[in-house]
Amino acid sequence: MPHNDFDEFARGFRERTAARLLEFEKAMAKAQDELEKSAQRAAQAQTHAETQRRNPASRSGAHSQSQGQGRGRPRGQVQSVLRRG
């Protein structure tokens, strides 16, 4: 009878260990996927930043658009200050 108890314990231990290992492998796979996605996003961001630095035309185009937004405002005091100078 003690032999049966040990066999049952060993079988249960193997089953629990296998289940835990499976959960661990799933968690590792999920973490690996997240890490790969994060690395891919970082690489894309770095590539985009390098492209912006290398291509001043795209940067100046965006800059000129932001300058053009203020043209509809009245010049009032600012223009008079510039005339005084």
Q: CA 64 to CA 73: how far, in whole Å?
A: 16
Q: Which tokens sit at 17? A: 């260990």
pLDDT digits (tens, 9 = 90+) for 12-58: 999 999 999 999 999 999 999 999 999 999 999 988 888 888 776 65
CA 78 to chain centre: 43
CA distances from 61 to 16, 64, 67 (A): 62, 5, 10
Query: Considering the entire predicted model, what is its pTM?
Result: 0.50
3 state SS of 75: coil
- The residue with greater pLDDT, 60 or 23, is 23
When computed from its CA atoms, the radius of gyration of the chain, rounded to whole angstroms, is 33
Tokens 């200050």 locate to: 81
- The arithmetic mean of pLDDT across residues 50-79, rounded, is 61
